[in-house]
């Protein structure tokens, strides 16, 4: 049901949940979270709130990993850009696969943010506005970055 990119939240009997989460993590690394304290006695509202917190946690962790790649930990640095100028060049070359923006970049550079989003949409790129820790990290590098389909020529 989670497909290739959905979150998987596991809860229930602690031992069983731990086993299921470990098994699923091998198939969906970084997308599985075992929620402790959610069991058959939890209310629907409690389960929903716990699932929302868990999904938010998984999203934050994924954003931090992706921003870390963009800001210097990529396996192939030719396939990432960081900062407004480099990202704009990649957008102009139509090589962007995933565009990452921070709220600070959007608010402070509205015209550049709009151009970036429009250019990313035109090349069928995924667009993510990151928050919390990931946004703080990306803001250190100008608030915008991308993962590329291919290395952009400069």
Q: Give the bridge partners for 82, in sequence order.
A: 145
67 Cβ contact partners less than 8 Å away, ≥ 6 residues apart:
100, 130, 134, 137, 138, 145
Q: Which phi and psi angles does 42 have, rounded to 5°?
A: -70, 145
154 in any annotated domain:
no
- My answer on whether 21 and 51 are in the same domain is yes
Of the pLDDT bands very low, low, confident and very high (cuts 50, 70, 90), residue 154 is: low
- My answer on whether 22 and 56 are in the same domain is yes
The tally of CA atoms less than 13 A away on the side-chain side of residue 126 is 9
Using the CB atoms, write b or e for 8-34: b if 16+ within 10 Å: bbbbeeeeebeebbeebbeeeeebbbb
CATH number at residue 144: 3.30.1330.30
Q: What is the pLDDT of residues 86-123, one digit of tens each?
A: 999 999 999 999 999 999 999 999 999 999 999 999 99
Domain span at 126: 74-148
- My answer on whether 33 and 84 are in the same domain is no
> What span, in angstroms and rounded, lies between the C-alpha atoms of 80 and 94?
13
pLDDT at position 3 is: 77
3 in any annotated domain:
no
Model pTM score: 0.79
Q: How many domains does the chain have?
A: 2
């Amino acid at each position: 049901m989670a497909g290739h990119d959905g979150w998987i939240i596991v809860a229930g009997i602690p031992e069983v949940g731990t086993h299921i989460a470990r098994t699923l993590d091998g198939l969906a690394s970084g997308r599985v979270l075992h929620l402790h304290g959610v069991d058959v006695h939890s209310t629907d509202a409690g389960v929903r709130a716990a699932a929302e917190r868990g999904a938010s946690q998984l999203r934050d962790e994924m954003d931090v990993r992706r921003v870390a790649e963009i800001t210097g930990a990529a396996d192939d640095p030719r396939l990432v850009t960081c900062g407004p100028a480099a990202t704009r060049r990649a957008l102009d070359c139509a090589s962007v696969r995933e565009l990452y923006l921070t709220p600070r970049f959007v608010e402070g550079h509205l015209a550049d943010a709009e151009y970036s989003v429009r250019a990313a949409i035109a090349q069928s790129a995924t667009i993510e506005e990151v928050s919390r820790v990931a946004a703080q990290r990306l803001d250190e590098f100008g608030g915008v970055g991308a993962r590329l389909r291919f290395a952009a020529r400069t």
